Structure 1
Amino acid sequence: MSEERQADVQALSGTDTRVYEAVAVLAVDDRTATVEEIVHATDLPEEAVRHSLGTLAEAGWLRADGAAYAVGRHDWSVER
């Protein structure tokens, strides 16, 4: 995915946005998010979460960290 498209949050589907936000909430506390935590936080089916995680990781929005996920590289910060 190009840098331009990655920077455009409007390119994300509603499911992808919900999954990304669930991971980002934990990132504020320097935590990674497991699939189970994301399913619980989003109330989405596990299959949809796993598909979205793959899409987001492939695009660079998220990165796999063992069995969990973290926010990928970006040039903005989250204020506490």
Structure 2
Amino acid sequence: MHSQHDVQALSIDDNTVYEAVAALATDGHAAHTADVVHMTGLPEETVRRSLAFLTENGWLKARGGVYALGPHDWEVDYR
């Protein structure tokens, strides 16, 4: 179940990528790979690997190279 996702179980890179996607989402922006690379300072290959992992495991949803948060039962507030 998605409610069992625990951000503390993610690697540091995966958590960093997830946080960047969440921050973009709360600002109403789409999360493109280049935006996540820019925000995190991580190498593009690391970001792509994390985006794929997070998508495959239901943390994120991907659509045409744009990433959004997957289903979750908690709030995200980055203001």
TM-score by length of 2: 0.87
| Superposed CA offset, 1:9-36 (max 9, x none) | 1210000000000000011123220000
Whether the 8 Å CA contact 1:6–1:59 is kept in 2: the answer is: no
Residue 28 of structure 1 corresponds to: 26
State the 1:68 CA deviation.
Answer: 1.0
RMSD, aligned CA = 1.7
| Structure 1 residues without counterparts, runs of 5 or longer | none
Structure 1 stretches of at least 4 aligned residues deviating more than 6 Å after TM superposition: none
Whether the 8 Å CA contact 1:56–1:62 is kept in 2: the answer is: yes
| Structure 2 residues without counterparts, runs of 5 or longer | none
Q: 1:56 to 1:6 in 2, by over 3 A?
A: farther
State the 1:70 CA deviation.
Answer: 0.5
Residue 15 of structure 2 corresponds to: 17
TM-score by length of 1: 0.86
Residue 65 of structure 1 corresponds to: 63
Q: 1:51 to 1:6 in 2, by over 3 A?
A: farther
Paired-residue identity, % = 56
Residue 49 of structure 2 corresponds to: 51
State the SS of the aligned residue for 1:63.
strand
